[in-house]
Structure 1
Amino acid sequence: MGELYVALIHAPVYNKNMEQIATSITNLDIHDIARAAITYGVNAYYVVHPGQAQQDLAKRIMGFWREGYGAEYNPNRYEAFERVRLASTREEVITAIKNDNPGKRVFTAATDARLYPNTIAYTDLRSRLENTDDVFVVLFGTGWGMIQEEMEKADFILQPVYGYGEYNHLSVRSAAAIILDRLRGH
């Protein structure tokens, strides 16, 4: 069985005008994706932001649930937060994962609400996870998604999550839960 990691990318991403920006770290994204990550056996969940003020905010949130009153009040949340890591860049994440998995190949799978020429099905990535010892990092973009140059660096791009109708703009935490279930759910 392959190893699975998740990274939530806050920069560089697009805003609704397709301009390159950095989004803010949100408390709900940290909490909800951490809980989904532990539920689906993710080795580590990286929150990626280049800004020190945003990283400091994330550290305060994480500290409350790891060391503060929150750790005592809600041990389940403490357990989920044990897998959360901070990084400044996607490259920093990949380096850390390679260091944790010496000798293994690390593949990245980007997510987006748009289709790309090298889009693959969830069943294909799930099969790779189940039938190899490789390491896979699922990259989630905030805002209106990772910029095209970052998408093109990915080894794979997962197909968009489609619902019932035409609307296709899920919160990243909802998309993460759906995608993790498709990759590791029973």
Structure 2
Amino acid sequence: MKFFVALVHYPVYNRTGEVVATAITNLDVHDLARATLTYGGEAVFMVTPLERQRWLLERIIEHWQVGHGAQTHPNRKEALSRVLAVESLEEARSMVEELCGRPPLCIGTTARNRPRAVGYQELRQKMGSGGVYLILFGTGWGLTDETLDSCDLVLEPISGVGKYNHLSVRSAAAVILDRLFGRG
């Protein structure tokens, strides 16, 4: 079984429900790369059609690969070596297919309830039988309905103890990856 992660910066919603492109952040890049590597993922795709944002991502990665950060934080160097900038989700899917010889099963994540969402245990069992997976996380206020509709499966939302439900994408990704790939 192989899995990849995509942090989608477009198309995503903003707080008023408009479809927007969000900014790449240093924290998201680091934390998604480290979490993905911790749980055995192959790579992290940062998805944005904005050329300046991909340029910024390349500068961040360069700092940790060949700059001062590479010498002072070798663990980050290893994790960030798995981060790839892509223009679209279609490009990420194509790269996974090229690397693995078959198209990935796309898994959407959302904080919103959706019909036919699959539970973590169900997906974990499915993954146990092998395959190639691309797990999508949305920035801003989440992946668009069209993106979620294009996924093969959508995971049920993370549920806390109360009504409040607004985790950062970094926190949500860590919880989801642990539920799917953790030893507990």
User: Which of the five TM-score ranges fits, normalised by the shorter chain?
Assistant: over 0.9
SS of the residue 1:77 aligns to: helix
Paired with 1:35 and 1:176, the residues of 2 have a C-alpha distance of: 11
* Residue number among 153, 160, 164 corresponding to 2:161 in the alignment: 164
How far the C-alpha of 1:162 sits from its partner, in A, is 1.0
Does the alignment pair 1:152 with 2:149? yes
Letter in 2 for 1:117: P
How far the C-alpha of 1:90 sits from its partner, in A, is 0.2
Paired with 2:32 and 2:155, the residues of 1 have a C-alpha distance of: 18
Deviations 1:66-120 (A, max 9, x none): 1111001110010111111110100000000000011x34200000001111200
**Matched residue, 1:180:** 177
Identity %: 45
Tell me the TM-score normalized by structure 2: 0.97
Gaps of 5+ in 1: none
**Matched residue, 2:39:** 40
Paired with 2:162 and 2:23, the residues of 1 have a C-alpha distance of: 29
How far the C-alpha of 1:31 sits from its partner, in A, is 0.5
Does the alignment pair 1:123 with 2:121? yes
Paired with 1:118 and 1:156, the residues of 2 have a C-alpha distance of: 8
Q: Which runs of 4+ in 1 moved over 6 A?
A: none
**Matched residue, 1:28:** 27
How far the C-alpha of 1:128 sits from its partner, in A, is 1.4
Paired with 2:132 and 2:103, the residues of 1 have a C-alpha distance of: 6
1:44-83 superposed matches below 5 A = 44-83=43-82
Paired with 2:143 and 2:49, the residues of 1 have a C-alpha distance of: 14
SS of the residue 2:134 aligns to: strand
Deviations 1:22-79 (A, max 9, x none): 1000110000111101100001111111000001111111100011110011100101
Tell me the TM-score normalized by structure 1: 0.96
SS of the residue 1:119 aligns to: coil
Gaps of 5+ in 2: none
CA RMSD across the alignment: 0.8
**Matched residue, 1:85:** 84
Deviations 1:106-143 (A, max 9, x none): 200000001111200011111111112x1011000001
Letter in 1 for 2:176: I
